[in-house]
Structure 1
Amino acid sequence: MSSNLYSIGLSGLQSSTARISTTGQNTANVDTEGYSRQKTSTVSIEGGGVRIQDTGRVVNQYMNQQVWSDSSDYHYYDSYRSMMSSFDSIFGEDSVSLTSYIGDAFSELQTANSDPTDSSARANAYSNFREMVAQYNELASYVRDQDSLAKDNVVKSVSTANNITSQIAELNAQIFKFESATGGTANELRDNQEQLVKELSSHLDVKVRYDDNNLMTVNLASGQPLVLQDRNNALQLTTNSDDPDKALAVKLNFGKYSVGVPSDDLGGSIGGLVAFRNEFIPSAERMLGQQALVLADTMNEQNKLGLDANGEYGNNLFSVGQIDVAASGDNRRTSDSVDVKLTSGAADEITTDTYELVMTSNTAFKIVTYDQSGRISDESDVVDTATATPNANGYFEVDGLGIEIQLTGANYTTGDKFQFAPTKNAAATLSLSARSGDDFALSAPIEVSSADSNLSDVSISISSVSNTDSSDSAFTQTGGLYPSAPQELFFTASDTVEIRDANGNVLDTLTNITDYSNLLGQSTVLSTAPNTPPGYDVSLNGTPRAGDSFSIAFNASGESDNYNGLKLASLQNQASVGGERTYSEAFTALVTEIGSVSASLATNATSSEVVMNKSVAARDEVSAVSLDEEAVNLLRFQQSYSASAQILTAAQSTFATLISALR
Structure 2
Amino acid sequence: MASLYSIGLSGLQSSTARITTTGQNTANVDTEGYSRQTTATVSQSGGGVLIQDTDRIVNQYINQQVWSDTSNYSFYESYQSMMTSFDSVIGEDSVSISDYLDNAFSALQTANSDPTDTAARSNAYSNLKQLAAQYNDLANYISDQKTLANEELESNIDSINNLTDQIANLNQQIYRLETTTSSSANELRDQQEQLVKELSEYLEIKVNYDDNQLMTVNLASGQPLVLQSTNNELRLTSDTNNPDGELGIELDFGNYELNIPTDELGGAVGGLVEFRNEFVTTAERMLGQQALVFADAMNQQNQLGLDANGDYGINLFSTAEIETTANVENSNEDYGIAVRVTDGASSEITTDTYEVEMMSPTTFKLVTYDLDGNVTNESDVIDTTTATPTSDGYFEVDGFGVEIAFDSLPSYAQGDRYQFAPTKNAAESIKMSARSGDYLALASPIAVSRADSNLSDVAISISSITDTDSATSAFSATGGLYNAAPQTLYFTASDEVEIQDGSGTVLATLTGITDYSNLLEQAGLADDAGYDISLDGPPDAGDSFSISFNSDGESDNYNGLKLANLQTENTVEGTRSFTEAFSALVTEVGSLTATLTTNMDASETIMNKSIAARDEVSAVSLDEEAVNLLRYQQSYTASAQVLSAAQSTFATLISALG
What's 1:544 paired with? Answer: 539
Aligned to 1:628: 623
| 1:492 counterpart residue number | 492
Are residue 28 (structure 1) and residue 27 (structure 2) matched? yes
The Cα offsets for residues 360-397 of structure 1, whole Å up to 9 and x where unpaired, read as 00111110000122110000111121222211121000
Aligned-partner Cα distance in 1 for 2:408–2:390: 18
Cross-structure match for 1:388: 387
User: Hey, what's the Cα distance between the residues in 1 that align with 2:289 and 2:191?
Assistant: 52
Could you tell me which of 647, 653, 656 is aligned with 2:651?
656
Which amino acid in 2 is paired with 1:613?
A: N
SS at match of 1:86: helix
The partner residue of 1:592 within 587, 590, 593 is 587
> CA separation in 2, counterparts of 1:19 and 1:157?
42
User: Deviation at 1:512?
Assistant: 0.4
1:338 correspondence with 2:337: yes
Equivalent residue number for residue 432 of structure 1? 432
Secondary structure at the counterpart of residue 503 of structure 1: coil
CA distance in 2, matches of 1:655, 1:226: 63
The reply on whether 1:191 has 2:186 as its aligned counterpart is no
For residue 511 of structure 1, what is the amino acid of its counterpart? T
Distance 1:522 1:651 in 2: 127
Runs (4 or more) in structure 1 with deviation over 2 Å come to none
**AA in 2 matched with 1:477:** A
Please state how far the C-alpha of 1:236 moved relative to its aligned partner: 1.1
Summarize deviations over 1:570-594 as a string: whole Å, max 9, x none.
0000011011110000000000000
For each residue in 1:324-365, what CA deviation from the matched residue of structure 2 results, as whole angstroms up to 9, or x when unmatched? 100001112111101001000000000000000101001111
Superposed CA deviations along residues 389-438 of structure 1, whole A, max 9, x for unmatched, are 21112100001000000011353110011100000000000000111111
> How far apart are 1:497 and its partner, in Å?
0.4
Inter-partner Cα distance in structure 2 for 1:644 and 1:326:
82
Structure 1 segment 245-644 matched on structure 2, within 5 A? 245-410=244-409, 411-524=411-524, 526=525, 533-644=528-639
In the alignment, the residues of structure 2 paired with residue 479 and residue 361 of structure 1 have an alpha-carbon distance, to the nearest angstrom, of 45
> How much has 1:143 moved relative to structure 2?
0.3
| Counterpart residue identity of residue 440, structure 1 | L
TM-score, normalization by structure 2: 0.99
1:612-642 superposed Cα distances (whole Å, 9 cap, x missing partner)? 0110011001101111111111110000000
The runs of 5 or more residues in structure 2 that have no matched partner are none
The percentage of counterpart residues that share the same residue type is 65
Per-residue Cα deviation, 1:290-330 (whole angstroms, up to 9, x for no partner)? 00011001110000000000000000011100101000011
Aligned-partner SS, 1:572: coil
What SS does the corresponding residue of 2:638 show, helix, strand or coil?
Answer: helix
Helix, strand or coil at the partner of 1:178 = helix
Q: Helix, strand or coil: the match of 2:259? A: strand
- Tell me, yes or no, if the aligned pair for 1:459 and 1:541 is still in contact at 8 Å: yes
Report the equivalent of 1:128.
Answer: 127
Q: What pairs up with 1:32-51 in 2 under 5 angstroms?
A: 32-51=31-50
- Alpha-carbon displacement from aligned partner over 1:253-277 (angstroms, at most 9, x marks no partner): 1111111111111010001000111
Alpha-carbon displacement from aligned partner over 1:520-552 (angstroms, at most 9, x marks no partner): 11013x36xxxx610111111111001101000
Q: Is the 8 A contact 1:291 1:583 kept in 2?
A: yes
Structure 2 distance, partners of 1:414, 1:662, is: 112
| Mapped contact 1:335–1:409 kept (Cα < 8 A) | no
Instruction: Provide the C-alpha distance between the structure 1 equivalents of 2:354 and 2:508, rounded to a whole number of angstroms.
Output: 46
Structure-1 separation of matches of 2:135 and 2:167: 48
| CA apart distance, 1:661 | 2.2
In the alignment, what sits opposite 2:61? Answer: 62
Question: Matched residues in 2 for 1:648 and 1:386: separation?
Answer: 108
Structure 1 residue 656, shift from structure 2 partner: 1.2
Q: Distance in 1 between matches of 2:383 and 2:507?
A: 39
Q: C-alpha separation between the residues in 2 aligned to 1:393 and 1:351? A: 25
